[in-house]
Structure 1
């Protein structure tokens, strides 16, 4: 009896422990919903409905844990309760067992996205609806190829077949993604900025304007044939010709593209006009494109309509600025075409800048850039046999390319063929074109670069990425990840104008941290100072030494060098400076540092996208972090997480030093948030599976943006520093979790 009693108690204890363990498990369940259970808002013309749940296993009703059908939908939803935010529905419409279209709905039956099949059903054209200030977007997604890869990952070696159309039943187990679409299976949108200037006052060219138009049209047609999108809704063209091609309009187009493009999209920049390598206004010699603001011949440019005190360099658009602006464009695949000249120095400066700085930032962001340019001076016409063609040679050769997709430019297996086609087309016209143009593939170049200049023993291990669990174990980051994100758009105190993007910035960063890195996110929108202090107190009470903390502030910042000698975060309830000389309604950095330093987490990072953020700490470490080696091997990354990540880490990363921060256009993120998001979304693909503070700093520095607002110059000058009990050689790292659909 005693043995039986003990056995019973032991079994009961094990059962309770098992249930408790399961209660903390994140479950992913996909259910079929019979028609009699459909909500009234779902049309009866639908073929099938599926419910998708991602959340705590313990919240799932007992009768729904071991089935794939929801027999009592309302009872299920009532049992889930607060977990309902993790529920979505797929509504499928089919014809003869082949998917025609589908909707994704949230728990409140609001439309999240809708799609229809194209190209024999294997490709989906998806529209993701707008939300929380984020505009709607459209894309083409190869669902069948994605499903096959996902299935093979789940069951390696099993024959999953090769269907040629989408059966609606596939959408139950493999629901269409909502937020993240794997770039490998996405036919992204095409963003084209094509500039052509014939009229430079002192000289009139014949084909710059028409080349710019024809190139944009060629790429539009190619994209249309790829997506079978007859309306070309996946192509966004900015065509600027002659008087429309001012520097201001070029910058506006680039900013618009940066705010709307996605990582899976393709960006094409074309400039047909004048350029030269010049020393202007006592500035270092550099390559400039000549926008409409500039007239004259390439050796002697002048302002077209000079204003008193205006400098010629201010009207120019430099290669350096193009590279900086292109970093802000999330599209990972970027094609640059320029038929201007002379281009010899252009190519040299391009390579120098890529090798010196953009190499690391582009690698971290997983960028792939391709450049087509003349080796010397660009021609205005093409001499072909006995005829003269009104087109620059590069524009003519590109227009005759036989591409299956614009993405061919970025496929390593296609690049040699494209280069051969381009040069062979020109050589077939005239032998003098044998060395007319050059084709530069960035990723191919850096592969050769690493082969020539890297240590063979260490480089041999690159590409075999350590698993996330190995990285977490070796780094000691076996606890939880917490993020406190504070965005303030609106202010009650006089003198503090409303801002456009802070809440949008922190909302998007919160999504990425939660979905890609496993953070528990606390999001504060327009909080007062008391609410921020309470959130910090909650973290102080909750966090343990093996936990990780990230704090992000976006909004107004201020500093007082006269009285308190400190910097401040401005809160929504902060009073006007004239009413609060002691800044008691602000968040002083000195107090924040003391509070944050006392939170137990061994790894803590504070990110500040506010004005005068550099006053958070006087000991800026950024100048000591310039010359990191490009890339790290598996052995090095494991050494790094063992040695540096296990040390006491208290770091701050700011968008500016003592200057004014850039807010950006409404709904397009601040430049700082834009680059942080791009880096986080790249998930350390080229940094051996981790994202380091150093990666973020390198990307931010490469952008080096500035803009003028009246007499105020705002410039992004990122700084990194340690504070409190930080050990100077410590490293803050982020380890992505395995990504799955929501």
Structure 2
């Protein structure tokens, strides 16, 4: 796996460690121990905390140390504790109090580097921050901990005595909804100058902020992330940087608002500009950031910039590629920059990746407001663009965020906006803009064409209906492995495999009821022990998922095989026969012998595709086929009779990308997006669905978001088989 940026990811509070009940290698238990005041290290004492806890993972049999360096759950001698059990110290949590109440909490890793902060906002809310090794904030959000605890306790002292304060699933479920706004406005394009783009962008920013504070906000500025890029601040790098920031820090239940007020135009593949005597269907829309000027032709604003000016544009396709990584379900897009009559259609199709089926799977509640034809700079007499005027003059008693509702309120907002247009239409244009609701469109699409899987049709996917199918009556197991650190200096430290593995593990556990074993930086022998454990304990009707992220290797010569690099693997020079690696051929044989009828292997490693030997040159049959429109219960019964041995890898023979630190590898990001959608409107997730979406994503790849997914069967796999994930009903 190729590392993209070398940064250390913050060891966040949500650190997840899920153990099998009788896993190999002994029993380990997470505990939060109190550190006696006279034992606090100087690195922590200088902060003058009120209380200090030690996060310990190790033997549960601590009573035998009573009187030596422990008194009940209090460490009375840190040096002796460290000498005996220091391997199990995962961090220190320090609490500050005010008048008997928890005021704030800081958390440090074992090297005393700050990783997290929590601030008590009152009203049963905590503001949480995570940091990287340079003490830069990498994430922040507000947690409604009373909803998480469901009345068990609202005592923060008790909450912070727990080993896990929150998990990834808690963040998605109990975080207070935030607002993320990116509003872009550019007036000056050299010879081409607008009057109201920058003021429109400012008006959007103010309007959505005010509406959020009036109808949505608890804590005002703490919940709003505003990015207003005007004029010279709206460069290509700045725009894409903000999108990356939002993608890495936003939550599923947040709002994302995007506006671009400026110039766009159509170009073909050779960057020849569109003209009225040409077929617009062969041209694509490009957004003009501040980097370029336009005077009959595009030029770099900076005369010393020797870059081809076309490379400083942002294509609609590229914009979609960045936006698709933003996890927010509720997304609103506004642009008055329509360069042609095809702008609305192209915008909608691009945002949906030209596939209603894939858009349905991702289940994004996307609303798009754009001109039906050409965009205008001003609605005469208003000093604003028409859409900007209609939106910002919405009846102040109405909540614009109702546009995301799944009931009549969204239609009412659209009606009110169109009513403003009828009152004050653009000259000679009484149907200037449209409000496009993606979910409503997809529902109509399913009803008309019937090409997507029917929504359950009364099937209780979490209950007795599925359990009546023998192949789905067993348990669901997952072994999730992520490796960041390697002893051999030839293998670079990676930033994201452990981070990816933890979130994959938690989604499988919380959303699909898998019993998960998570291994981080495990040595080779430990991995083999777990495979042996599952071989001895799995039953025929169980489902088993294996996820592995980290470095991979491939020897094209004597060994002619692929390998998984373990944390204790030696360099290829020191171990030419790869005895300290896990060989693909050997791994396939072990997995093929697993008692479970349904087994899925997910590999996010370099050269992962060579797990399927046909990648080396042989042909194979179609690895994935779409599911026909049929009763879901019949589908499950049909597919359950076949033995499933499938492997899905992020790449074929080539190197895999680690991704930006703390932002998931491209493969893991897409996989999490699919799993979090829980099958969208259809209610089940098939491997074919996952593969189809990854294939679609690979068509949009850049050098920083590169995947080339490979899917194949192996061993006893039946060509008619399908691996199906059944989500838990939301509560």
Superposition TM-score tier, normalisation by shorter sequence: 0.7 to 0.9
Aligned partner of 2:696 in structure 1 is 702
How many angstroms does 1:189 deviate by?
0.8
Aligned partner of 1:671 in structure 2 is 666
Aligned partner of 2:229 in structure 1 is 240
Equivalents in 1 of 2:532, 2:686: separation in Å?
A: 27
- Which TM-score applies when normalising by structure 2? 0.74
Aligned partner of 1:452 in structure 2 is 448
Is 1:545 paired with 2:534?
no
Cα distance, 1:236–1:598 mapped onto 2, change above 3 Å: same
How many angstroms does 1:331 deviate by?
0.7
How many angstroms does 1:734 deviate by?
1.8
- Judge conservation of contact 1:193–1:239 (CA < 8 Å) in 2: yes
Q: Summarize the alignment of residues 500-515 of structure 1 with structure 2, pairs less than 5 Å apart.
A: 500-515=495-510
Deviations 1:19-60 (A, max 9, x none): xxxx99xxxxxxxxxxxxx9999xxxxxxxxxxxxxxxxxxx
Cα distance, 1:461–1:647 mapped onto 2, change above 3 Å: closer
SS in 1 for 2:573: helix
How many angstroms does 1:128 deviate by?
4.8
Equivalents in 1 of 2:589, 2:367: separation in Å?
A: 48
Aligned partner of 2:251 in structure 1 is 262
Deviations 1:294-320 (A, max 9, x none): 3215x7434445889855543222222
- Judge conservation of contact 1:222–1:403 (CA < 8 Å) in 2: no
Aligned partner of 1:56 in structure 2 is none
Aligned partner of 1:7 in structure 2 is none
Cα distance, 1:168–1:308 mapped onto 2, change above 3 Å: closer
Equivalents in 2 of 1:142, 1:425: separation in Å?
A: 42
Equivalents in 2 of 1:728, 1:403: separation in Å?
A: 59
How many angstroms does 1:193 deviate by?
1.6
Deviations 1:608-635 (A, max 9, x none): 11122211114579994676258x55x2
Equivalents in 1 of 2:116, 2:314: separation in Å?
A: 43
How many angstroms does 1:703 deviate by?
2.8
- Judge conservation of contact 1:663–1:671 (CA < 8 Å) in 2: yes
Aligned partner of 1:271 in structure 2 is 260
Deviations 1:430-478 (A, max 9, x none): 452422111111111122222322289x959747654444223325222
- Judge conservation of contact 1:475–1:641 (CA < 8 Å) in 2: no
Aligned partner of 1:138 in structure 2 is 141
Equivalents in 2 of 1:622, 1:360: separation in Å?
A: 26
Equivalents in 2 of 1:379, 1:370: separation in Å?
A: 20
Equivalents in 2 of 1:622, 1:467: separation in Å?
A: 35
Aligned partner of 1:84 in structure 2 is none
Aligned partner of 2:376 in structure 1 is 379
Cα distance, 1:623–1:192 mapped onto 2, change above 3 Å: farther
- Judge conservation of contact 2:563–2:583 (CA < 8 Å) in 1: yes
- Judge conservation of contact 1:656–1:716 (CA < 8 Å) in 2: yes
Q: Summarize the alignment of residues 81-160 of structure 1 with structure 2, pairs less than 5 Å apart.
A: 125-128=125-128, 130=130, 137-139=140-142
User: Which stretch shows the higher mean deviation, 204-213 or 299-308?
Assistant: 299-308
> Alignment partner for residue 405 of structure 2, among 365, 389, 411?
411
> Alignment partner for residue 554 of structure 1, among 532, 549, 553?
549
Aligned partner of 1:717 in structure 2 is 708
User: Which stretch shows the higher mean deviation, 471-480 or 411-420?
Assistant: 471-480
Structure 2 gaps, min length 5 = 1-20, 23-33, 38-71, 74-94, 108-114, 273-281
Equivalents in 1 of 2:613, 2:141: separation in Å?
A: 46
Equivalents in 2 of 1:623, 1:686: separation in Å?
A: 30
Q: Summarize the alignment of residues 519-668 of structure 1 with structure 2, pairs less than 5 Å apart.
A: 519-619=514-614, 624=622, 628=626, 635=631, 637-668=632-663
Equivalents in 1 of 2:413, 2:590: separation in Å?
A: 58
Equivalents in 2 of 1:588, 1:415: separation in Å?
A: 55
SS in 2 for 1:706: coil
> Alignment partner for residue 488 of structure 1, among 483, 492, 498?
483
- Judge conservation of contact 1:101–1:117 (CA < 8 Å) in 2: no
Cα distance, 1:519–1:355 mapped onto 2, change above 3 Å: closer
Cα distance, 1:244–1:581 mapped onto 2, change above 3 Å: farther
Aligned partner of 1:736 in structure 2 is 727
- Judge conservation of contact 2:143–2:171 (CA < 8 Å) in 1: no
Cα distance, 1:615–1:421 mapped onto 2, change above 3 Å: same
How many angstroms does 1:340 deviate by?
0.5
- Judge conservation of contact 2:476–2:513 (CA < 8 Å) in 1: yes
How many angstroms does 1:356 deviate by?
6.5
- Judge conservation of contact 1:189–1:235 (CA < 8 Å) in 2: yes
Aligned partner of 1:196 in structure 2 is 185
Structure 1 gaps, min length 5 = 1-22, 25-37, 42-73, 76-90, 94-99, 119-123, 152-165
Equivalents in 2 of 1:422, 1:518: separation in Å?
A: 44
How many angstroms does 1:606 deviate by?
0.7
Aligned partner of 1:392 in structure 2 is 385
- Judge conservation of contact 1:468–1:735 (CA < 8 Å) in 2: no
Equivalents in 2 of 1:346, 1:567: separation in Å?
A: 47
- Judge conservation of contact 2:426–2:432 (CA < 8 Å) in 1: no
Aligned partner of 2:77 in structure 1 is none
Cα distance, 1:102–1:243 mapped onto 2, change above 3 Å: closer
Equivalents in 2 of 1:356, 1:235: separation in Å?
A: 29
How many angstroms does 1:604 deviate by?
0.7
Equivalents in 2 of 1:309, 1:731: separation in Å?
A: 52
Aligned partner of 1:292 in structure 2 is 290
- Which TM-score applies when normalising by structure 1? 0.73
Deviations 1:561-612 (A, max 9, x none): 2332222222222222333333232222122111111111111111111122
Higher helix share: 1
> Alignment partner for residue 430 of structure 2, among 411, 418, 434?
434
- Judge conservation of contact 1:555–1:609 (CA < 8 Å) in 2: yes
How many angstroms does 1:485 deviate by?
1.3
Equivalents in 1 of 2:345, 2:364: separation in Å?
A: 20
Q: Summarize the alignment of residues 268-347 of structure 1 with structure 2, pairs less than 5 Å apart.
A: 268-281=257-270, 285-297=283-295, 300-305=297-302, 310-347=307-344
How many angstroms does 1:487 deviate by?
0.9
- Judge conservation of contact 2:546–2:601 (CA < 8 Å) in 1: yes
Cα distance, 1:548–1:168 mapped onto 2, change above 3 Å: closer
Deviations 1:317-356 (A, max 9, x none): 2222222322211111111111102142222223444666
Deviations 1:529-552 (A, max 9, x none): 222222212222221211221111
Paired residues, number? 622
SS in 2 for 1:221: helix
Cα distance, 1:168–1:564 mapped onto 2, change above 3 Å: closer
Equivalents in 1 of 2:513, 2:143: separation in Å?
A: 28
Equivalents in 1 of 2:569, 2:179: separation in Å?
A: 44
Cα distance, 1:573–1:470 mapped onto 2, change above 3 Å: same
- Judge conservation of contact 1:276–1:342 (CA < 8 Å) in 2: yes
- Judge conservation of contact 1:648–1:726 (CA < 8 Å) in 2: yes
SS in 1 for 2:222: coil
RMSD across aligned C-alpha pairs, in angstroms?
Answer: 4.4
Q: Summarize the alignment of residues 29-44 of structure 1 with structure 2, pairs less than 5 Å apart.
A: none
> Alignment partner for residue 443 of structure 1, among 439, 444, 464?
439
SS in 1 for 2:193: coil
SS in 2 for 1:193: strand
